[in-house]
């Protein structure tokens, strides 16, 4: 059950991020990174993407770490440093 909820949360943020790329009110890149970070706890492909994106976009990575640091206790299996380690 826990794994299914993590999977749903991850894909929810990926979809929200994709919508946010076209809607100026949402920060699409940030939501995509949050979704990928959540999915990286379950999937190797997501973990590899996160590592590449963290290296390419360090400013966005800092934003993501700040958001995850505040809300990591609400997302099972995710802590603020797990995305690229």
Q: What is the pLDDT of residue 75?
A: 58
* Full DSSP string of 13-38: HHHHHHHHTTSTTS-HHHHHHHHHHH
pLDDT digit string, tens, across residues 47-79: 898 888 888 888 877 877 787 777 666 655 555
Whether 30 has a pLDDT exceeding 50, the answer reads: yes
Q: What is the pLDDT of residue 8?
A: 93
Could you tell me which residue, 30 or 35, shows the higher pLDDT? 35
Q: What is the pTM of this model?
A: 0.65
Whether 2 has a pLDDT exceeding 60, the answer reads: yes
Closest among 58, 19, 24, 59 to 35, alpha carbons compared: 19
């Amino acid at each position: 059950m826990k794994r299914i909820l993590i999977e749903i949360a991850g894909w929810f943020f990926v979809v929200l991020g994709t919508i946010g790329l076209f809607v100026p009110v949402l920060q699409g890149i940030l939501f995509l990174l949050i979704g990928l970070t959540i999915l990286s706890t379950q999937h190797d492909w997501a973990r590899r993407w996160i590592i590449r994106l963290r290296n390419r976009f360090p400013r966005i990575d800092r934003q993501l770490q700040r958001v995850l640091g505040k809300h990591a206790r609400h997302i099972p299996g995710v802590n603020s440093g797990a995305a690229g380690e």
